[in-house]
Structure 1
């Protein structure tokens, strides 16, 4: 039987789509990609973040732990205190205790409970490691000696290196840089997903689902809400951590240098040698620095050659930051050069220094340490809830399907590629690991597709 066509019925051109789809919003296109990336980062990078959180939690209280372990060297002895022993006598006692070393510097504490640290360069020690002799300023007695790394006693140095590179040296720094590079991707991606899901219910963005029924929905609520509260803190830790990383740190320093934001230093030009004229004493150097306005803990650097100037620098770690320094004529004690924190440091240099001190838990003392500890514990909880959700939502492809790039329009896809390339340049470890993740994900997707075709065939 042949069908008849009513000539009055309009017909569409043969090449016109029968069910045209309206163009999707940018977020509708990006959401599957953000979800997939958040899932991949959570699965593969979360172990790195777990280690970073645990080692950071140990390191943040390393000053107190060092006092417990090395208190015999770092703290003065109990007893009557009338007047401190002259610094020259303290240095002489340290030199007698370490005759094979070359005197490098000494640190004069402000805290009356702290010993004076006299630092020596000793042959046979590892790079950046020195021998520090600790002298009781009240008695002149040598309390002991420790091998220190940039002034850190052994326990604090070990916890610092454990956090930065797992005691594996430079190769181990890739783990911490991977974690720091991916952390903002995880945080910002999760924040976008949560805001997109609850933009009509703003209260659920910041209030955890206390009364919700047990299950995946409640876990997701705690996971997301806790991360939302920690967004600023986690982003801060990531950025400040990347400033001294291996690859991203180089990019950061290049940008800072181009903006003239690097920390300045004293030029410390030597003066003419005066034969037969004695150099100033350590007490004179400290007194001249105090007269010049240096008030905090002082680090005095000894000139290595005749005519070399004596430098005295504030070595404060707490707020308000004091990092003034002066160069002194070794024969007269006159100030030949001065560098002030307030006027001599560029804004970016100040911002970097303050950020690093806050990252280390030093800037505001115990409150700073407690805030970092709360961030570490909160991140551990977020990671646990994330893995718990992934376990409850098996298989993973139901949560974050593959092939999300095919759903992007050309302009959005171009913008995604552009942002990814820029982030990969700024954070090379992120760029390389992202490419590796995408390649592995594509291979797994192709294998799964082949398996599905073979089963249906």
Structure 2
């Protein structure tokens, strides 16, 4: 993707054209080749953001019941759920968070996927079972929303499919910052007013008009792109693991409860022993005394013998409610507790970032912002492809898109910094490094092809 050299063109300066040529080529290749992955991630994420209200409508029969003044003890609700003989072992209960909502009784089922549980919905006022569904994750999303979530996460391809979303998140911030650098350079060259950074150039025509719309829209979307890229990487397979390791090394990890009862010391699966349903009421009472006062909570039985019960706040709206306590099921004593107020700052920011990424932190307002951003980013990507289409190789017979050889003219500190950054980023985000190497291979191959064509043209002209 080069311009055939013109002998009358003066050579580029070493300092400015070197970095700009590098950024331009990187922005172009990433936009062209990684753009489809980003586009799919944004489109599926947009679908996910729109699902909460649709989910409430689709599963109204399981989620909503006539409000009653009195609710049955959790023990009676658990017994009603167990009486339906669901597949799996009793694992946890999520009491109805408000009047008119159902209680969820959750069962671990080995036939289900990771983080999936079979859930029985019970009317807390009458004990009537309203149905059974598979739910997913801490948020307890239902099958329709779970499908959209997995489509966004891995294209329904399982663990290998996660590579697509990690690739998109790894490159989104690079493309965004590279585009900003190019747009600012263009703005400085025009010596335009500050307001012209965020609006298209007046009077631009043809491809130039699309370019200025692309650049100004990119400035508006920059912070959102950086935010979604950073929060998306925390879920990724490889970069996410490195982020977790870094946070742990710096003491920024999310605190966890100590529930005791470690296997190998008289432990074993707690599911081997039947649980008295009345324990749920007792544990809930102890948790309320300990300050667990949120409406949305999960009461989980011990995972192994000798371990404590846990009661965890699971509300992800604002203000954040994620306090948790570990309770001795025999005595009702609180043996450990974790308060959100005591989280390290980075752990709090991570919690808020993930919830905002999912569109649940500020409710409908959060959803509307993400919808607007998603539509804007889709438009930005399509504008980029429109520019490429207008200068595609079939016009003029050569890839006249991005000048070649600019990096060779750069000062050596620029080259050294670029190589060092590439190595560091490739180590921290392996998919970014691998794809960058692929871009270099493609670029080198196209360079050899252009050189061969140039030699052929010169040979023909001499003859």
Say whether 1:88 aligns with 2:75.
Answer: yes
Is contact 2:41-2:152 (8 Å) kept? yes
Query: Residues of 1 paired with 2:314 and 2:159: CA distance?
Result: 27
Distance 1:383 1:43 in 2: 9
Structure 1: any 5+ residue segments left out of the alignment?
A: 1-20
**Which runs of structure 2 are paired with 1:224-303 in the superposition (5 Å)?**
224-270=215-261, 281-296=279-294, 297-303=296-302
Counterparts of 2:99 and 2:15, CA distance in 1: 62
8 Å Cα contact 1:317-1:357 kept in structure 2: yes
Q: Find out whether 1:423 has 2:425 as its counterpart.
A: yes
2:360 corresponds in structure 1 to 362
Alpha carbons of structure 1 residues 212 and 122: separation in structure 2 relative to 1, 3 Å: same
1:77 maps to 65
Aligned to 1:446: 448
Aligned-residue offset at 1:361: 0.7
What's the secondary structure of 1:139's corresponding residue? coil
Q: Distance in 2 between matches of 1:123 and 1:138?
A: 31
For structure 1, which segment, 444-453 or 95-104, has the greater mean C-alpha deviation from structure 2 after superposition?
A: 95-104
Q: Structure 1 residues 153 and 23, CA, compared in 2 at 3 Å: closer, same or farther?
A: closer
Q: Which runs of 5+ in 2 are unaligned?
A: 1-9, 268-274
Matched residues in 2 for 1:186 and 1:233: separation? 13
Does the 8 Å contact 1:280/1:332 carry over to 2?
no
The residue number in structure 1 matching 2:4 is none
Partners of 1:279 and 1:331 within 8 A in 2: no
Change (3 A) 1:337 1:197: same
Deviation sequence 1:113-154 (CA, Å, 0-9, x none): 321110012343334322100111122211100122223211
Question: Counterparts of 2:303 and 2:208 in 1: how far apart (Å)?
Answer: 66
The answer on whether the counterparts of 1:280 and 1:331 sit within 8 Å (CA) in structure 2 is no
TM-score between both structures, scaled by the size of structure 1: 0.89
Q: Secondary structure at the match of 2:83?
A: helix
* Secondary structure of residue in 2 paired with 1:399: coil
Q: State whether residues 38 and 189 of structure 1, in contact with CA within 8 Å, keep that contact through their aligned partners in structure 2.
A: yes
Alpha-carbon offset, residue 270 of structure 1: 4.7
Q: Which whole-Å CA distance do the structure 2 matches of 1:109 and 1:402 have between them?
A: 63
Correspondence for 1:312: 311
CA change 1:415–1:303 in 2 (3 A) is closer
- 1:105–1:146 distance in 2 versus 1, CA, 3 Å: same
- Aligned match for 2:199, one of 197, 202, 207: 207
TM value normalised by structure 2: 0.88
Distance 1:278 1:422, change over 3 A: closer
* 1:406 aligned to which of 397, 405, 408: 408
The structural deviation recorded for 1:83 is 1.1
CA separation in 1, counterparts of 2:339 and 2:110? 35
Question: What CA distance in whole angstroms lies between the structure 2 residues aligned with 1:121 and 1:50?
Answer: 36
2:348 to 344, 350, 355: 350
May I ask how many residue pairs the two structures share in their alignment? 430
| 8 A contact 1:280–1:330 mirrored in 2 | no
Tell me which of the two structures has the higher relative contact order, counting C-alpha pairs closer than 8 angstroms and 6 or more residues apart: 2
* Deviating more after overlay: 347-356 vs 226-235: 347-356
Partner in structure 1 of residue 134 of structure 2: 147
Q: How far is 1:185 from its partner?
A: 1.2
The alpha-carbon deviation at position 394 of structure 1 amounts to 4.2
Contact 2:74 2:280 in 1 (8 A): yes
